């Protein structure tokens, strides 16, 4: 089970907050792409967690995701001047299909 960190704060009240893999225990590439709305990029956090984001989120003009950005900044996973745009998937590395 992974947590979805939405870029739009009001989305938390109307959309699911957690995502479960269709074929446990791993999320497929397609599932991760659907969750973030584009090609995926991994941001590795030192607590053995991963943020999966849309690698083109900024280019697509997606809204900044300040909650995901704060999490990445807190772990020094991205530069202080950088930010995450669009929805993010917060998951354990064991949930990602190694293929």
> In the sheet where 40-45 sits, what is the strand order?
18-19, 2-5, 88-91, 49-54, 40-45
Please report the pLDDT score of residue 14 as a whole number: 67
CA distance 78 to 84: 9
pTM given for the model: 0.91
The string of pLDDT tens digits covering residues 37-78 is 999 999 999 888 999 999 999 999 999 999 999 999 999 999
Degrees, nearest 5: CA angle 77-78-84: 115
User: Where do the domains of the chain lie?
Assistant: 2-95
Strand partners of residue 51: 43, 90
């Amino acid at each position: 089970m992974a947590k979805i960190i939405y870029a739009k704060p009001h989305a938390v009240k109307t959309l699911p907050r957690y995502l479960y893999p269709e074929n446990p225990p791993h999320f497929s590439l397609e599932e991760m792409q659907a969750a973030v709305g584009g090609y995926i990029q991994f941001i590795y956090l030192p607590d053995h967690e991963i943020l999966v984001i849309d690698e083109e989120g900024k280019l697509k003009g997606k809204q900044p995701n300040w909650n995901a950005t704060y999490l990445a900044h807190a772990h020094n996973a991205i530069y202080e001047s950088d930010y995450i745009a669009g929805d993010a998937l917060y998951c354990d590395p064991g949930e990602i299909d190694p293929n």
